[in-house]
Structure 1
Amino acid sequence: VGGQQCEARTNAEKSKTLARSFFPPKPTTPSVPTNHTYPPPINYTSTVTQEQITCMIGKLKPYKAAGPDEVSNSVLINCLDILVDYLYFIFSAIPRLNAYYDGWLEWITAVLRKVGQSRYDLAKSFRPIALLCMFGKLFTGMLAEDVVFVCESMNFFLPTT
């Protein structure tokens, strides 16, 4: 970790070593420029549609590990016709009521071995994955698509060459 080699014998020591490897310390200087002039805020409210929900669920891979809510992708995929109306009303209420369910902010960080490593006694031979709550992941995925759409339509992105 950090160029140092040390031997971790207990699970607690191994956990600390992996945590330091996966989550480096915060930078000492902020990356946000000081005294930056931001453009005026735009007047935009996110709206959720049943088509968006259907599209987001359609992008899911069925056999992925579930997060702490234990809702599997395959349940959403196979029960879409039953769930889409309920999800529509739940997701529509979030921006309207300015409320978000705290349970959707929970996640599980699982540690996986990197394939093809010659030594698994080194912290760099492992990688973390985040298992998120499914409904929160769906909602934030739709919100992210919304943000990209608005930014593109307002020409907020620099042109690519």
Structure 2
Amino acid sequence: SRIPPLVQRAGRMPVTTAETDEEKSDWLRAEFFPPPMPVSSVPPNPVYPPPAWEWSPVSDDLLRRAADKMKPYKATFPDSIPNCVIKECTNLLIPFVGPILRSLDDLEHFPEDWAELRIPVLRKPGKPDYDVPGAYRPIALTKGLARWLYGAKDLQQVAEAEIAGILPRNQFG
């Protein structure tokens, strides 16, 4: 592993050290992902209001807009389509990929491997000491097509919420 031994301190004095990869992983996981709430804040048997809008599949226009918003060189899953390919080839991909992405909703299917992600750990630049978990940050590597679909659905949900008037006036995205 390229991460040096991690140290937890009390003031300036080291208290415990994580030497093995397993120990370091546990410490970084605890730093990045806080434990879940012990009790759900959702009351039992909640009564939800009626839907504020009618669901509709993502359109080609939404897929185009989502592709335009993608960062071209953001890292994706190793065996996935890179964002730059989606961004540069949108007009070629939409006639073929658009119907497939829409059919996933129609069939109520989501590919299992699209839910898989990898979380590599990167050093935060300019930190004086890299032996503490807070000197690192996680990045999520996801599948390119899944990210494209998520982006289109996100644009759709925000637009529908704005039209329905359920977002605060100063809420952005």
CA-CA distance at 1:71 after TM superposition: 1.5
User: Is the 8 Å Cα contact of residues 58 and 102 (structure 2) preserved in structure 1?
Assistant: yes
Alpha-carbon separation, structure 2, partners of 1:91 and 1:118: 46
Shift in alpha-carbon separation, 1:159–1:123, aligned structure 2, 3 A = same
| 1:123 partnered with 2:123 | no
Partner of 1:51: 61
1:91 deviation in Å? 1.4
Instruction: Give the aligned residue type for 1:48.
Output: V
Preserved CA contact (<8 Å) 1:22 1:127: yes
Alignment partner of 1:78 out of 50, 74, 88: 88
How many residue pairs are counted as aligned between the two chains?
161
What residue identity is the alignment partner of 2:80?
E
Q: Secondary structure at the match of 1:147?
A: helix
Separation in structure 2 between the aligned mates of residue 156 and residue 3 of structure 1, nearest angstrom: 46
Among 130, 151, 158, which residue is 2:161 paired with?
151
One-letter amino acid of the counterpart of residue 23, structure 1: F
Q: Could you tell me how far 1:69 is from its partner in structure 2?
A: 3.5
Which residue identity does 2:66 align to in structure 1? M
Q: Give percent identity, aligned residues only.
A: 32
Kept after mapping to 2: 8 A contact 1:106/1:132:
yes
After superposition, residues 61-76 of structure 1 pair within 5 angstroms as 61-76=71-86
Matched, 1:142 2:152: yes
- Report whether the alignment pairs 1:18 with 2:28: yes
Amino acid at match of 2:161: C
CA RMSD across the alignment: 2.4
Bigger drift between 24-33 and 83-92 goes to 24-33
> Contact 2:119–2:140 (CA<8 Å) still a contact in 1?
yes
Q: Normalising by the residue count of structure 1, what TM-score does the alignment of the two structures yield?
A: 0.86
Q: Which amino acid aligns with 2:91?
A: D
Q: In 2, distance between residues paired with 1:15 and 1:24?
A: 14
Superposition deviation, residue 90 in structure 1: 0.9
With structure 2 as the length reference, what TM-score do the two structures score?
Answer: 0.81
**Paired letter, 1:150:** E
Runs of 5+ consecutive residues of structure 1 not aligned to the other structure:
none
Q: Name which of 105, 110, 125 aligns with 2:115.
A: 105
CA contact (8 A) 2:66 2:155 kept: no
1: CA distance between counterparts of 2:150 and 2:117? 14
Amino acid in the other structure paired with 2:145: F
State which of 26, 31, 37 in structure 2 corresponds to 1:27.
37
